Structure 1
Amino acid sequence: MEREREWWTDRLGAVPDPRGGWDVGPERPADDPAPRTWREQDIVLHSHGSDLTATLLSPGRPGAPATPGPAVVVPFYDVAAVLGRPSARTHHAPPVPGNAFAPHLAAHGLAVLAVPWWFEAVVPPDAPRDLAGRYGPPAERHRVEQPMTALGRSVGDLMLAVDALRAQPSVDPDRIGVLGHSLGGKLALHLTALDRRVAAGVAHEPGLGLAHSNWDAPWYLGDRVPRDRDLDEVLALVAPRPFLLVGGGDSDGEHNRDLVERARRSWEEAPGLDVLQHDGGHPVPAHVQAACVTWLRDRLGPGV
């Protein structure tokens, strides 16, 4: 299995920037009148010349001593969406409740690190809204300037985020999980598979299978999509750690169940690969969001 992990790591170039690092900001005062049960502060990740401002929510009253507990990395396009707040990226629409995992995780006593996608850190403010127009130009610059795939860069950034999380006093380094939807689901799958420090993972609608999503987009794999392998190998690399794959029938469902079952063979003993299917399509329904949070809390252990 380690040989396969090395192959995928090398194929993607999924390693953190060797010159990367992070800075931890001060706790911020509450921005609403209701008392909060978590602290909030930024962790700025420095990677390949970009500054990615992630936000850490830690259990406990602001200013109180930190107690180590489980933590969850939540990657997405931007941090605001994960926190359930208005987003500059989608200012034309209200926040989408299904994307706001952070408050629900924090309510269960889990620390949360919401990590933005590096593409959103490099696109200009007036970038188009469509995927090709928005991410195509920076993907082309990346192809020319960097040896790794754009997906590998993204996973490497999350590995750096795990480094930063493990250094925080509010985090038990042996109880770190990851949860992601759509783009975040793709990243959650690969981070769990390629970074053994991640204890459990959840991916909602990642598009398992190279034929079942836009993996050949230049902001993912581009022309480096493997021709003789598929993502059941990546999912299998998670074993024996627990993983929850959630499909709404859009990117994931009966059409790629064969890949799930092939990967399942790698869990030889206790059931560690769980599948949840719903008919809600690509968005995250409220009951599915709650199920994902509860599943992850149960696998990582009680929160603070």
Structure 2
Amino acid sequence: MRIKSTLLWLCLIMVAGPVGTAQAEDGVTRKRSEPASINSSWDDLLDGIDTPEDWIEHKKVLKKRYLNLIRDQFKPDKPDLQIQFHDTVIVDGVYRRQLISYQVEDDERAHAYLGVPLFLRGPAPAVVALHGTYKQGKSRAAGLIENPDKAYLDHLCRRGYVVIAPDHFVAGHRIPKAGPYDTEAFYKKHPEWTAVGKFTYEHSIAIDVLQTMKEVVPDKIGVLGHSLGGHGSMFLAAYDDRVQAAAGNCSASFFRQNSKVEAWSRDHWYIYFKHIRPDLLKGELPPIDFHEIMALIAPRAFLDLSGLNDGDPLTQRQRVLMLLKVMDVYELEKAPQNFAFFVHGKGHSVAHESRELMYGWMDSHLKPSAATKTKLVTP
């Protein structure tokens, strides 16, 4: 018996090689290693922060920087909503879609599509669905034109959400004379404000609209979008604490590690932040960046989705390092379950898996736990 065991052991050595080595046939040997810290330029998010209390104080500083970036102090006084309903359509016997308008400034009305499922058993969670850079704006978000992958209102209403899909302020019903997404007229009217401040403020007013509705659970509101709507979701969630869950798909690149950072302050067409252009041209960045803006959302739920081949691949790889640091903040806030990111190779898209992740994220954080609970099969 011992002879047989010895022969078996020898055979194993002959097949597997000498005991204790991991040498490949081409001579490469890999030795055991402990995980190393990943250091990056994004580590400044928590520089000097040792405790949760330190972070809460620093968060106040970051919020001031963020509001200064969007120049929130120059927004107008919030007007009465004066909601008007313009037309109503029943879609496939599943939900009611209404074209509505409401005041966003004393002399400006925003238009939006509002979707309400027909067979609600009580108030439901609601989502602000933000479209990307597209002339017809809300019509695409409602599934009425162009790419049905981006028909968030239709998709979410069928899942039981009340949804508002507002026009961006230079699209849809409010295209400027100079053309869609031209901000020249806006800056003539509000020379000290920013386009980001304007659309973030208006999207916050869309939440006001939702909270007037008996069909909506007022503290279960989310936001999602793609491209311009993707970073709009981040900006809104950082701005308005009423957002309990946010998902941004293929959002724009940040300020640092971005060879095209001047695009944030062009001298024509759509100008996000007009006031930072002189500094950008001198090579000086704003005192706050995306990792810090995302961190303002914590501990509320935030999901970032991006394509490694969406634009500059080096910049998009930096996004992964940035998101790792944001996770550190969620862990410090004791809410790691409320942060996630998904990185893919499908470019600037809202592919099936991205949509399912965004909608599932809303389900997990806005619906009762029973809505996502699994069950064993009955024998």
TM over 0.5: yes
**Unpaired segments ≥5 residues, structure 1:** 87-94, 128-133
Question: Where is the helix percentage greater, Structure 1 or Structure 2?
Answer: 2
1:6 corresponds to which residue? 64
> Of 123, 126, 129, which aligns to 1:71?
126
Partner Cα distance (1:238, 1:210) in 2: 19
Match of 1:266 among 329, 334, 355: 329
2:166 alignment partner AA: V
What is the TM-score when the length of structure 2 is the normalising length?
A: 0.68
Q: Which residue of 2 aligns with 1:256?
A: 319
The reply to whether residue 119 of structure 1 matches residue 170 of structure 2 is yes
The partner residue of 2:296 within 212, 228, 237 is 237
Distance 1:287 1:6, change over 3 A: same
Partner residue, 1:209: 254
Structure 2 counterpart of 1:131: none
Q: Which amino acid aligns with 2:335?
A: A
**For residue 92 of structure 1, what is the aligned residue in structure 2?**
none
CA displacement at 1:126 relative to structure 2: 8.1
1:147-171 deviation per Cα after TM superposition (whole angstroms, max 9, x unaligned): 2111100100011111111111111
Question: Structure 1 residues 244, 216: CA separation in 2 closer, same or farther (over 3 Å shift)?
Answer: same
> Is 1:44–2:101 an aligned residue pair?
yes
TM-score, normalization by structure 1: 0.84
Partner of 2:148: 97
Distance 1:174 1:19, change over 3 A: closer
Post-superposition offset of 1:17: 4.1
Which residue pairs with 2:276 in the alignment?
224
Aligned Cα root-mean-square deviation (Å): 2.4
| Matched residue count | 281
Give, in whole Å, the separation in 2 of the partners of 1:101 and 1:58. 13
Does the 8 A contact of 1:17 with 1:157 survive in 2? no
The structure with the largest alpha-carbon Rg is 2
Does the CA-based 8 Å contact 1:40-1:57 persist in structure 2? Answer: yes
Q: What is the CA deviation profile of residues 152-195 of structure 1, one whole-angstrom value per residue up to 9, with x for unaligned ones?
A: 00100011111111111111110000001000011100000111
1:175 — aligned with what? 220
- For residues 222 and 26 of structure 1, the distance between their equivalents in structure 2, rounded to whole angstroms, comes to 35
The equivalent position to 2:353 in structure 1, one of 267, 287, 292, is 287
Pick from 134, 139, 143 the counterpart of residue 80 of structure 1.
Answer: 139
Task: Classify 1:281/1:21 alpha carbon distance in 2 versus 1 (closer, same or farther; 3 Å).
Answer: farther
CA contact (8 A) 1:176 1:200 kept: yes
Of all paired residues, the percent bearing the same amino acid is: 25
> Hey, what's the Cα distance between the residues in 2 that align with 1:19 and 1:175?
23
Residue 96 of structure 1: how far off its partner (Å): 0.7
Distance 1:262 1:170, change over 3 A: same
SS across alignment from 2:181: helix
Q: Counterparts of 1:183-202 in structure 2 under 5 Å?
A: 183-202=228-247
